[in-house]
Structure 1
Amino acid sequence: MHQSHFLITDFSNLAHQKWQITNDSVMGGRSDSGFQINAEGHAVFLGRVSLENNGGFASVKNHEPLNLTGYRSIRITLKGDGKRYSFRLQTGTAGQPDRWSYEYRFDTKNGDREIVDLPLNEFRAVFRGRSVPDAPALNASQIMRYGFLISDKQEGPFRLEIEKIEAV
C-alpha cells in the first residue's frame, strides 16, 4: 500500500536534483531558457521561445527515476504566465530509455497561484512533438525522467514558477 500523497520535489534541496535544460538549439533553433530557484524557494523555468531557424521549444527535465505505481495523478502547484505547457514523463529501464515520452498539456493562468492535476491515464505518447498512437500505455513503474516543455509555436518570453510536484 502506498501513501496517498508522494512529494516528488519541492525544490528545497536542488543540489541533489539533476535538472537539465534542452532547447531547440539542439536542432539549430534560437530559443533560450534557464532554471533557477527564487527567494521563496520555488523553481522558475523561464526564457524566450524563438521560431527562427525552425525552432520553437524549450524544456527542462529531471533525471531522477520514479515509481508512481498506484498513484492516479501528478499534482503541480505553480504560478504561470497564461501560456500552455507540457509535463512529460519518459519511461524505460536503466540505460534503455524508450524513444517516446508521455505528455500532458495544461494551460496556466497569468500570475495566479494554482494547483493542476494531471491524470496519469490521460498522458499520451509523443515523439518529437508528434503523437505515437501505437505506443504502449504509460508504465508508471518505469519513469526515468520528468520535466516541463513549452512549444506549440508560442513565440516570446515565458515564465513558469513551480512550488512543488506531487503524485496523488
Structure 2
Amino acid sequence: MHLQAPLLRISAAIGWFTSTTKLPASTSMESSKLEVQYLFGGSQPWNTSTLVWAAVDDRVRGGSSQSYLEPLNHNGKQSAKFYGVLDTTTLGGAGFASRSTRAVSGTHSSDETTWDLSSYDGLSLAINSADDKTYTLTLKDELPRDKRSDGRERSGISWEAVFNVPATEGDQEGMSVKQSNETTGIIVEIPWASFKATYRGRDVPDVKPLETKTIHAFSLLMRSFFEKQDGEFELIVDYIAASRFAE
C-alpha cells in the first residue's frame, strides 16, 4: 500500500530505475553538487558507546508491535536494517513500531546529545531496499524536561517526514528521484520544510519552525496510519546524512 507522501523529494537508484546522477564515495556529490555530512551509516556507525537506536514501540501503551534496528556491513558501508512487525489488532486499528536515538545510560543525558544542522538544506536517506510500506523519519528539536509519574518520557512535539519507495521514477509532491551508483536503492532528499510538526501522530498548527541548530533525536517509524497498513516490514538504509541540495 502506498500513502501520499507530503512535500518530499525522492531519488531513484540503480537496479530499479534509470537516471544519470552518480553518488561518489566521498562526502560530496560532485555530479549533483550535493554536499553531505554522514550522521548514521556511510562512514559513520549507527550505534556507538554513547548513543544507540532504542525501541519505542506501541508496547508502552499496551500494544504488540515490535521493531529492530540491525547494523549491517554492506559492501564496506555501515548500513542498517530497520524491521519488525506492526500489529493493529491489539489497539483497535492503531499501532506503531520505531527506533529512536538515545543516549546510553551513564554516559551523558539525551539533552546533551544535539546536532547542529543549520548550515544544511535538509536530510538525505540512501535506501538500499524496501517493501511497499510507508515510513516516517522523525526529528526532535527539544525534549521534555521531566518524566511521567511512571518514569516514562513525556510525549512532545515531533517533526515528521513521511515517505515510501516509488515503483517508478517521478515526484511525490516534491520528492525527486535520482540514481545512486554507490548504493543499490534510492536516495530520499527531505528539505527542512517537509518536516511537519505533530503530537502523537496528529498535526500541530501554529507551531514555531523546526530548530535545526539543536536536533536532539532521530527516529525511524512504522505506523498504521489508523489501520491503513500492518504486518511485517523491512527497510535497509545505507545512510542518513545532512545535505546541501543542488538548485
TM-score range, shorter chain: 0.7 to 0.9
Structure 2 Cα separation of the partners of residues 82 and 53 of structure 1: 23
Q: Which residue of 1 aligns with 2:12?
A: none
Q: Deviations over 1:94-121 (max 9, x none)?
A: 94798201000001257x6111001111
1:67 maps to 2:116? yes
| AA in 1 matched with 2:118 | T
TM-aligned CA distance change 1:107 to 1:13, over 3 Å:
closer
Q: Which residue of 2 aligns with 1:30?
A: 64
1:20 matched to 2:54? The reply is yes
Secondary structure of 2:205's counterpart equals: coil
Q: Is the Cα contact below 8 Å between 1:92 and 1:98 reproduced in 2?
A: no
- Greater Cα shift, 10-19 or 122-131: 10-19
Tell me if structure 2 keeps the 8 A contact 1:90–1:98.
no
- Contact 2:46-2:71 at 8 Å conserved across structures: no
TM, length-normalised to structure 2: 0.61
> Aligned equivalents of 1:27 and 1:34: distance in 2?
18
Per the TM alignment, residue 6 of structure 1 is displaced from its structure 2 partner at its CA by 1.2
More strand by share: 1
User: Is the counterpart of residue 145 in structure 1 residue 176 in structure 2?
Assistant: no
SS at match of 1:61: strand
Structure 1 position 14, deviation (Å): 2.4
Q: Which runs of 5+ in 1 are unaligned?
A: none
- Counterpart of 2:141, as a letter, is T
Indicate the residue corresponding to 2:159 in structure 1.
102
Size of the alignment, in residue pairs? 165
Change (3 A) 1:121 1:12: same
Question: In 1, distance between residues paired with 2:136 and 2:39?
Answer: 17
Instruction: Check if 1:7 corresponds to 2:38.
Output: yes
Is contact 2:38–2:241 with CA below 8 Å preserved after alignment? yes
* Counterpart residue type for residue 27 of structure 1: R
Q: State the one-letter code of the partner of 1:84.
A: T
Structure whose alpha-carbon radius of gyration is higher: 2
Whole-angstrom distance in 2 between the partners of 1:143 and 1:21: 19
Counterpart-to-counterpart distance in 2, 1:38 and 1:143: 25
Deviations 1:3-40 (A, max 9, x none): 93211121536233321111111111111111112342
Q: What's the Cα RMSD here?
A: 2.3
CA distance in 1 between counterparts of 2:219 and 2:162 reads 12
**TM-score (structure 1 length as normaliser):** 0.88
Query: Equivalent residue of 2:188, what SS?
Result: strand
